[in-house]
Amino acid sequence: MPNPVSRRTFLGAAAGGAAASVAPRSVDAAERHLPVRLEKPLRVESLSTPALLIDLAAFESNLAKMAESLKARGVGLRPHAKTHKCPVIAHKQFELGAIGICCAKVSEAEVMTDAGINDILITSPVVTKEKIDRVIACAKRIGHLQMVVDNTKTAQDFNDAAAAAGIVLSVIIDLDTGTRRTGIAHGEPALGLGQLIAKLPALKFEGLQAYAGQIMHVKGYEKRKARSEETIAKAVDTRALFEKNGLEVAVLSGGGTGTFDVDSNIEGITDIQAGSYPFMDLQYRAIGDSNSDVYDYFDPSLFVLSTAISKPVEQLITFDAGYKSFSTDAMNPEFRNVTGVVYHWGGDEHGMVQLKEPSQPIALGDKFELMVPHCDPTVNLYDYYHPYREGMVHELWPIAARGRSQ
Ligand SMILES: Cc1ncc(COP(=O)(O)O)c(C=O)c1O
């Protein structure tokens, strides 16, 4: 696995030491997977806002906690790159022992393939010839690509495309865990598909995917645990049925940030596909964990830096980050270090912050970190991360798969 080497530097500070817009206008496609080193490190407060920040202390602790926790249980970590969309972060996950990464979409997998990632599971089905051909093209370029399938026609189509390309494609059957979103039913329907795949010469059956997205945000640890155990038990039964019928199931991949500590204890699960754990978000904090009402085993590390820009009335102050700076599918953003204030959406570009009893003064021009409601779709709004340590940004990490939802 090649390590990302910073080959590009960028002059961070504007002439005369003025506040800098740190983002380079463009980064060559061939270098989007590399950190962009700043010639002169910048203080977080000098960044042009809105800016997406990573607090490296929290981020690194989250990466290490997940890696160590799964290592201790003898279960593989295959982090989902749909969350960060960033090859620099994927490489860091490999350095800590990840067995591969997941990608949600073919275009994400293409970016990760370009970045030298050698082991990818694509977790969403595709059916069109154009996408099938793109999957095969990625598979030809890397050591190990697994593709999910959930129906016989697509399995046949993948077999034909792989045969035409002269390769054998690794295939995982996507099980419908109750999401009713993708996947084939457990038991006999899945077995029938497995038996077909085993007979197709250009496909190699490798196992099952059982990701239960509907359970990840169930509030209350015991309730979530019970639902996940019940759901994963069906996948484990299906696994047993396959093996009874002579089909080896090398992989049973599932689990996410909300259930990793439950699913990784279940006999038969081989890989955990957690995505959000490096960053966490408000939605995940609200579900609670085994010790507390707040899920704080992982710390929030992803923030949007925003500036107070107007104060038309006494009790409100307007910030420069609105719908275009945060995902809007969950709750509202919250300040990291200020209490007694409430963020309300103020439109595409603005957040209107109600000053109830602010724990510190907020003046025009002040910049604050806000916690994000939902990390994945927030990340998809930005070109770069600004990772910082002790208040200083030394490099930018391109979000190379940003907007890659094809
Ligand atoms: C198939 C699949 N696996 C894993 C994940 C990662 O989940 P989380 O971010 O909850 O860890 C997702 C997230 O949506 C997913 O769709």
Q: What is the mean pLDDT of residues 30-58?
A: 95
Cβ atoms of 99 and 117 within 8 Å: the answer is no
Q: How many helices (H) and strands (E) does the chain have?
A: 10, 19
259 lines ligand 1 (CB under 6 A): no
Where residue 19 falls among pLDDT bands split at 50, 70, 90?
very low
163 CA from centroid of ligand 1 (Å): 31
Cβ atoms of 264 and 253 within 8 Å: the answer is no
205 CA from centroid of ligand 1 (Å): 22
Instruction: Determine the residue of 66, 80, 101 to mutate for testing ligand 1's pocket, defined as the one with the most ligand atoms within 8 A of the Cβ atom.
Output: 80
104 CA from centroid of ligand 1 (Å): 9
pLDDT, position 20: 47
- CA 319, CA 297: separation in Å to the nearest integer? 30
Residue position matching structure tokens 């909300």:
258
Total residue count of the chain as it appears in this document? 406
| Ligand 1 atom closest to residue 217's alpha carbon, by position in its atom list | 10
Cβ atoms of 213 and 176 within 8 Å: the answer is no
402 lines ligand 1 (CB under 6 A): no
Q: Which distant-in-sequence residues (6+ apart) come within 8 Å of 251 by Cβ?
A: 146, 172, 206, 207, 208, 270, 271
276 CA from centroid of ligand 1 (Å): 8
pLDDT tens-digit profile of 333-384? Answer: 999 999 999 999 999 999 999 999 999 999 999 999 999 999 999 999 999 9
pLDDT at 210 over 80: yes
Alpha-carbon distance values, 273 to 77, 134, 191, 385 (Å): 7, 23, 23, 22
Q: Which of 80, 128, 88, 87 is CA-nearest to residue 104?
A: 80
- CA 100, CA 354: separation in Å to the nearest integer? 44
pLDDT at 31 over 90: no
262 lines ligand 1 (CB under 6 A): no
Kindly report whether the global pTM for this prediction surpasses the value 0.85.
Answer: yes
264 lines ligand 1 (CB under 6 A): no
Where residue 326 falls among pLDDT bands split at 50, 70, 90?
very high
pLDDT tens-digit profile of 52-92? Answer: 999 999 999 999 999 999 999 999 999 999 999 999 999 99
213 lines ligand 1 (CB under 6 A): yes
Where residue 26 falls among pLDDT bands split at 50, 70, 90?
low
Cβ atoms of 256 and 324 within 8 Å: the answer is no
Domain ranges in the chain? 8-55+296-398, 56-279
Q: Does domain 56-279 have CATH number 3.20.20.10?
A: yes
- CA 209, CA 183: separation in Å to the nearest integer? 9
Instruction: Determine the residue of 62, 77, 82 to mutate for testing ligand 1's pocket, defined as the one with the most ligand atoms within 8 A of the Cβ atom.
Output: 82
| Ligand 1 atom closest to residue 375's alpha carbon, by position in its atom list | 9
Q: What are phi and psi of 271, to 5 degrees?
A: -135, 150
pLDDT, position 116: 96
- Give the residue with greater pLDDT, 182 vs 20: 182
275 lines ligand 1 (CB under 6 A): yes
- Rama region for 144: left / alpha / beta (φ>0; ψ in -120 to 50; rest): beta
Q: What is the mean pLDDT of residues 96-100?
A: 98
| Ligand 1 atom closest to residue 376's alpha carbon, by position in its atom list | 9
Q: What is the mean pLDDT of residues 191-197?
A: 98
Q: How would DSSP label each residue in 135-178?
A: HHHHHHHSSEEEEEE-SHHHHHHHHHHHHHHT--EEEEEEB--S
Give bridge partners of residue 385 from the DSSP assignment.
397
Q: How would DSSP label each residue in 239-263?
A: HHHHHHTT----EEEE--TTTHHHH
Where residue 6 falls among pLDDT bands split at 50, 70, 90?
very low
192 CA from centroid of ligand 1 (Å): 26
The two beta strands, 169-174 and 203-210, are parallel
- CA 378, CA 79: separation in Å to the nearest integer? 18
Q: How far is CA 227 from the centre of its chain?
A: 23
pLDDT tens-digit profile of 299-322? Answer: 999 999 999 999 999 999 999 999
Amino acid in position 198: A
Where residue 7 falls among pLDDT bands split at 50, 70, 90?
very low
Instruction: Determine the residue of 103, 216, 298, 372 to mutate for testing ligand 1's pocket, defined as the one with the most ligand atoms within 8 A of the Cβ atom.
Output: 216
Residue position matching structure tokens 């998809």:
380
pLDDT tens-digit profile of 216-248? Answer: 999 999 999 999 999 999 999 999 999 999 999
Where residue 5 falls among pLDDT bands split at 50, 70, 90?
very low
Instruction: Determine the residue of 77, 177, 231, 273 to mutate for testing ligand 1's pocket, defined as the one with the most ligand atoms within 8 A of the Cβ atom.
Output: 273
Q: Which of 14, 2, 209 is CA-nearest to residue 103?
A: 209
| Ligand 1 atom closest to residue 254's alpha carbon, by position in its atom list | 3
Superfamily of domain 8-55+296-398: D-serine dehydratase-like domain (2.40.37.20)
- CA 229, CA 367: separation in Å to the nearest integer? 44
Residues of the chain above pLDDT 90, percent: 91
pLDDT at 4 over 90: no
Residues of the chain above pLDDT 70, percent: 93
Element housing 304 (H / E)? strand 302-310
Measure the CA angle with vertex 267, ends 262 and 272; round to 5°.
Answer: 50
Q: Which distant-in-sequence residues (6+ apart) come within 8 Å of 128 by Cβ?
A: none
- CA 244, CA 226: separation in Å to the nearest integer? 27
